[in-house]
Chains A and B, each alone.
Chain A
């Protein structure tokens, strides 16, 4: 063994000296050259015509154009998701307010009426109004996927991702993460290298899933009514940038080993079929609705209980929820959040949409009035800090379970801890830098 080590080292050094390349680059390089020679002498005639795919790829896979094209497409996708869905969101909103009113009118038992109107309808309603947004986001994602563009995104980003210890393939789990981090984390299985797989999975929760959307839509709508798609886009971008940074830091200081190469096949471009698109949108979107019917419903009921117990409390402030909020308040003082906002984030651990439901219940109002109340309690800067905090802090339970399933407890706990710390630091930085810039 000793002798083998010695001979190997000498060989490597001599080859580096002669060719200026490490053997692990040199040998594949020689193989490709041999292939080129074999192919060029055995092919009599080669394809000369360019297909449409070749022409499009010339532009889209271009070294300089690739990323700008992606960013414009992504931005268009968000405009589509929010602007087009807006009237439908309003309609759903009206529907839930109407149901709330009816319950208030027809049920005389005030405890039951409160449970149904504030708990179920108030809590669930505040979340379900975002269903149209989520369906439209999935529709846009499916269109990009079926056209063949998403596969190219992996290729476009490989060079960049490598600098951050990720692989081009990491982009697929991350794109899925925009829908939901759970399938996103599970999709990391297809990544070849161990390190790339770990880094992609633990940074996936930083990719803003559709569950954060209700929080953004609410706060951006209230505090930045004129340019809310842009504000929301900036949060998505912040998530991506943080995912890259964390990946780099963890990859650089906590992991050993070599990166693995990216080899993938690019499918021909094709026109997405309307039927398939609608099917994809429905399948993924309905998952959100089902979640609303189970996990979120349970969370909402728990919050309602906490805010109405111990029995006989006159206001939320005296309830268990209020007590917890007051304990947490000092911690979030620098962000300008009162106890209500502070306690709402506790429930995001169950599922991030519940933050909105919790706020609805704590203020004891429905969606429309909630917007008014919130606008009174904080500044736009505090609201932005709140959105970034919700983006970053702890993955939801389901995502943590997925990380545990793929990588084990160690990485799941690591993800939860680093994200809480990161969320606090970033929110603090936003308050400090924003404060300086605005004054």
Chain B
């Protein structure tokens, strides 16, 4: 059976655990992330002849390196390179949630957005055009109501479809001047074969530009460690 590695990412309190439990049922394992006291949950779900191996990443608001939770999520996506990252988004709080989505896209993750709590959003008076959102973001969007198991089949369908199609990861475009600088830095990074092979150089270039210390450390380690 073919295996698809899926990571669940999202802000705290968006219903991530509910989705994880609904998908994996009793087939899950709870442990700790290596060297940390932060819970790591993994589980398995079978869908259309695939085995979906699902890892529940810690709930986070962004992908900087200020907290161990953010670092775990970021390192997992960078090092383990899951086939698909399902980003669970609270439909009633779109702006805040999408900040993480954009950073996940930038990281080079192949993203699917689960627009969760769509019932709550509706009752609060929101109406979201999912097709438009999908087009604007360049990422598949699946509406879900995790607590009532609505949309989970569609979510699994989308995971399989995205992998079968081999859809390329999407990213946002910065203004031209910024893009030019990112490109210049990326070219320098590409010269090093070690870095080229291990990282998404566009992401690395953006992070270096932002002065991200962890990104700098990674480069130094690669250059020294060979």
Whether a CB of chain B sits under 8 angstroms from the CB of A226 is no
21 pairs, CB–CB < 8 Å, chain A vs chain B? A1-B219, A7-B188, A11-B209, A15-B177, A15-B209, A19-B177, A27-B206, A27-B209, A28-B210, A31-B99, A31-B102, A34-B102, A34-B172, A38-B137, A41-B136, A42-B128, A42-B133, A45-B127, A46-B126, A47-B125, A193-B66
Whether a CB of chain A sits under 8 angstroms from the CB of B18 is no
- Decide: A15 near B181, CB < 8 A? Known: A39-B95, A41-B132: yes
Find chain A residues with CB under 8 A from B181 CB: 11, 14-15
Contact A43 B127 (CB under 8 A): yes
Give Cα A337 to B23, complex, Å.
71
Find chain B residues with CB under 8 A from A261 CB: 66
Contact of A23 among B64, B128, B210 (CB under 8 A): B210
Question: In angstroms, how far is the closest chain B Cβ from the Cβ of A191?
Answer: 9
Whether a CB of chain A sits under 8 angstroms from the CB of B62 is yes
Find chain A residues with CB under 8 A from B137 CB: 38
Give Cα A115 to B98, complex, Å.
68
Give Cα A258 to B178, complex, Å.
23
Residues from 6 to 21 in A contacting B, C-beta threshold 8 Å = 7-8, 11-12, 14-15, 18-19
Q: From A6, which residue of chain B is reached at the shortest CB distance?
A: B188
Find chain A residues with CB under 8 A from B184 CB: 7, 11
When A and B form their complex, which 7 residue pairs have the shortest distance between CB atoms, in order from nearest?
A192-B66, A42-B133, A45-B127, A11-B181, A42-B132, A44-B127, A47-B125
Question: In angstroms, how far is the closest chain B Cβ from the Cβ of A192?
Answer: 4
Residues from 44 to 68 in B contacting A, C-beta threshold 8 Å = 61-62, 64, 66-67
Q: Which residues of A contact B (CB under 8 A)?
A: 1, 3-4, 7-8, 11-12, 14-15, 18-19, 23-24, 26-28, 30-32, 34-39, 41-49, 192-193, 258, 260-261, 263, 265
Give Cα A192 to B71, complex, Å.
11
Contact of A47 among B13, B126, B132 (CB under 8 A): B126
- Decide: A49 near B211, CB < 8 A? Known: A35-B98, A41-B136, A192-B67: no
Give Cα A274 to B219, complex, Å.
55
Q: Which residues of B contact A (CB under 8 A)?
A: 12-13, 61-62, 64, 66-67, 92, 94-95, 98-99, 102-103, 124-130, 132-133, 136-137, 172, 174-175, 177-178, 181, 184-185, 188-189, 206, 208-211, 219-220, 223
Q: Between A and B, how many residue pairs show CB distances below 8 Å?
A: 101
Task: Classify the interface of chain B: helix, strand, loop or mixed.
Answer: helix
- Decide: A265 near B211, CB < 8 A? Known: A38-B98, A43-B126, A192-B67: no
Give Cα A31 to B219, complex, Å.
24
Find chain B residues with CB under 8 A from A23 CB: 209-211
- Decide: A27 near B133, CB < 8 A? Known: A3-B188, A4-B188, A48-B125: no
Q: From B207, which residue of chain A is reached at the shortest CB distance?
A: A27
Give Cα A23 to B188, complex, Å.
19
Q: From A25, which residue of chain B is reached at the shortest CB distance?
A: B210
Q: From B128, which residue of chain A is reached at the shortest CB distance?
A: A43
Task: Classify the interface of chain A: helix, strand, loop or mixed.
Answer: helix
Give Cα A4 to B181, complex, Å.
12
Contact B211 A32 (CB under 8 A): no
Find chain A residues with CB under 8 A from B127 CB: 43-45
Give Cα A26 to B177, complex, Å.
12
Give Cα A41 to B128, complex, Å.
9
Find chain A residues with CB under 8 A from B94 CB: 39, 43
- Decide: A31 near B126, CB < 8 A? Known: A15-B181, A36-B95: no
Give Cα A357 to B185, complex, Å.
67
Question: In angstroms, how far is the closest chain B Cβ from the Cβ of A87?
Answer: 44
Find chain B residues with CB under 8 A from A12 CB: 209
Q: From B91, which residue of chain A is reached at the shortest CB distance?
A: A43
Find chain B residues with CB under 8 A from A43 CB: 94, 126-129
Contact A4 B210 (CB under 8 A): no
Contact A42 B211 (CB under 8 A): no
Q: From B121, which residue of chain A is reached at the shortest CB distance?
A: A47
- Decide: A32 near B99, CB < 8 A? Known: A8-B209, A14-B181: yes
Contact A38 B185 (CB under 8 A): no
Question: In angstroms, how far is the closest chain B Cβ from the Cβ of A261?
Answer: 8
Find chain B residues with CB under 8 A from A35 CB: 95, 98-99, 102
Give Cα A48 to B127, complex, Å.
12
Give Cα A14 to B61, complex, Å.
30
Give Cα A12 to B61, complex, Å.
26
Find chain B residues with CB under 8 A from A34 CB: 102, 172
Contact of A4 among B95, B133, B219 (CB under 8 A): B219
Q: From B191, which residue of chain A is reached at the shortest CB distance?
A: A3
Contact A27 B95 (CB under 8 A): no
- Decide: A44 near B129, CB < 8 A? Known: A11-B181, A15-B177, A26-B178: yes
Q: From A18, which residue of chain B is reached at the shortest CB distance?
A: B177
Question: In angstroms, how far is the closest chain A Cβ from the Cβ of B106?
Answer: 9
